[in-house]
Amino acid sequence: MIGGVRVVDDSRYVFFDPRMQARWDAVTRAFEGERVRLVSAANGFKKFVVRVDGLKDGFLYELVDLDTHTASSLGEV
């Protein structure tokens, strides 16, 4: 077990490892004001596939690479 999800009005991911939490926080900051849901993560948690939904982008899957500080659209949900 690496963490959990707290669901109230929005899902909040909480990781036990502070480094993993910092990486996830960086991902969510990239999509300020949008809901970000974890779909998948690469070993080491430096690449994530996330589902982003909100008024700005609609419903999209994004690949986030923390090594290159980029997010690439994978397509609509």
The predicted structure's pLDDT at residue 42: 92
> Would you place residue 8 in the very low, low, confident or very high pLDDT band (cuts 50, 70, 90)?
low
Q: Does residue 1 have a pLDDT over 60?
A: no
> Would you place residue 74 in the very low, low, confident or very high pLDDT band (cuts 50, 70, 90)?
very high
- The two beta strands, 47-54 and 35-41, are antiparallel
Please, which residues have CB within 8 angstroms of residue 31's CB and are 6 or more apart in sequence? 50, 52, 54, 57, 62, 71
Average of per-residue pLDDT across 65-69: 94
Please, which residues have CB within 8 angstroms of residue 6's CB and are 6 or more apart in sequence? 12, 14
**Token pair for residue 29?**
């900051």
